Amino acid sequence: MSQPIKVGLCQINPTLGDFDYNYNKILDSYNDALKQNCELVVFPEMVVTGYPPQDLLLSDKFIDKNLSILNDFVKHVSKTCILGFVNREDGKLFNSAAICRDGKIVKVYNKILLPTYDVFDEDRYFENGSEIGQFDIDIDGKNLNCIIQICEDLWEDDYNRKLSKEIIDLNPDLIVNISSSPYHRNRKSVRKELIANKFADANCPFIYCNLVGGQDELIFDGNSLVLNSDMNLIKEGKSFEEDLVIADLSSPSINQENEETDEEMYQALCLGVKDYFRKTGHKKAVIGLSGGIDSALVACLAVDALGPENVHLVSMPSRFSSNHSKSDAKELATNLNANFETIDIDALFQKYLDTLDHKFKGMETNVAEENIQSRIRGNILMAFSNKFDCLVLSTGNKTELALGYCTLYGDMSGGLSVIGDLSKTDVYNLSKWKNKNSNNVIPENSITKAPSAELAENQVDPFDYDSISPIVDKIIYNESFDKDFSDKDGIRKKINQNEFKRRQAAPILRVSRKAFGIGRRFPIVNHFHE
């Protein structure tokens, strides 16, 4: 591009269905960009509604309101602006971008490639667009040939139509992609590489504006990009924060960091918790604090996301709880400056045993008695939830959920599963990172001791997590194993058998490329074995 142009990427965090809130945020961001003398202002995919609306798209009133908000906003537009909305043509819905200027919509582009895999289900609601989105921008009397894409249009490898080649053949001066691309590990570097690979021959700048914020299980990371004609980075938006990214397309490139860190994973989970609470209207969280590593990490995330004054930590020891677990729980709560109390459950547990004695008499103690303790704790946490208007955060990790090493209506109780997409290995790594960056807030004993549910005498978890966590991940990711892998521990079978538990789990914040929840759909009744 021979001619300079200043662009503003409005990386904002809309709330799904809160049209008035979204309208005000869009308008304020647009005006802020104009104050920076931007010639082009860009918003993310479906920013008017929030993403993904799912079956709200079946409501005519929802569609009507989205169109009304768009038309109200357009009246305030002078310089060229691009934003995502839901378009309706002849009774059909499209995931679309409106190109606006001088108080009117000058072009509508309908998304061509509709993702229908993993967490995406756009084919359920939308029709495919057909035409490449060409539009022009007039800069000092010269028209620039620009192309608009929407998110999946970039991810073309699994589709018959290769849009990148069609776009390059049109000899554009600028390519713009508006996205709602959810975060998972390594997603940022993958996006950069994909853009560079697809459009290396375009010889024009590339703008990528991504959504930020949490929506149910999904976390959108932002990280909007402005690349020059050599596909080198000019400007990058913040991670997991709203940002107005201002860039002159004639600016020199800057160094870019592709390596993703534990810090980014921690930030993602914090944002997921924060937005889940803010957007559902909850203020306070309650967490069962065992003294172990999983609940410790969840407590840290909750305090950082919500503030210590809004987090209630409850220790519920039984006769099998070790002294160090009790002291570790108290020490963590003190370090976090969060609300803390201890409720001993042993008398309640004994009452259960006495009540069931005539039914269980002569039978060996087993998982029934163990799980009673877990369910007592779940009941107490739910009582706190009801009485003090707190949302229970469940503390199970992905490895445990995969293998069924968790208790329905016990430790699985809760309104949000914070670390349900972290393997046990991930939990340890993130806890060590947290300690390194927060003066060892988690007691060292919680990290180094053998993990245990402490539901029986001298109990320890029956897994070597260092070896089993990677195997679980490979199975969930559907990756191939070496020929000599025999699965002697029956891990596949355990994963299949415990699907019924996961169907009843709290929503799980997604931070991997394949999480339990909406992106993984396996039948509960399943007799297939690989």
Q: Which residue numbers are catalytic?
A: 45, 111, 151
Distance CA(262)–CA(245), nearest Å, equals: 24
The β-bridge partners of 391 are 285
- Alpha-carbon distance of 174 to 153, in angstroms, equals 16
Q: Sign of the CA dihedral 76, 81, 85, 87? A: positive
Q: 296 near 417, Cβ under 8 Å?
A: no
Other beta carbons within 10 Å of 133:
25
Q: Which residues, 6 or more positions from 517, have their beta carbon under 8 angstroms from its beta carbon? A: 119, 217, 507, 508, 510
Exposure string (b/e) for 324-362, b if CB count within 10 Å is 16 or more? ebbebbbbbbebbebbbeebebeebbeebeeeeeeeeee
Site of tokens 């940022």: 188
3-state secondary structure 257-312: CCCCCHHHHHHHHHHHHHHHHHHHCCCEEEEECCCCHHHHHHHHHHHHHHCHHHEE
The CA distance from 454 to 321, in Å, is 6
Rg (CA), the chain: 26
CA dist 497 and 102 (Å) reads 60
Looking at the DSSP bridge assignments, the partners of residue 7 are: 40, 247
Q: Is the dihedral of CA 60, 65, 68, 73 positive or negative?
A: negative
Contacts of 480 (CB under 8 A, 6+ apart): none
- Sheet of 390-394: strand order equals 339-342, 311-315, 284-288, 390-394, 416-417
- CA–CA distance, 36 with 31 (Å, rounded to integer): 9
Pairing type for strands 225-227 and 339-342 reads: unpaired
Reduced to 3 states, what is the DSSP secondary structure of residue 23?
helix
CA torsion angle for 437, 443, 449, 454 (degrees, to 10)? Answer: -130
In angstroms, how far is the first alpha carbon of the chain from the final one? 54
Q: How far apart are CA 5 and CA 509, in angstroms?
A: 39
- Distance of alpha carbon 378 from its chain centroid, rounded? 25
Q: Return d(Cα 25, Cα 47) in angstroms, integer.
A: 10
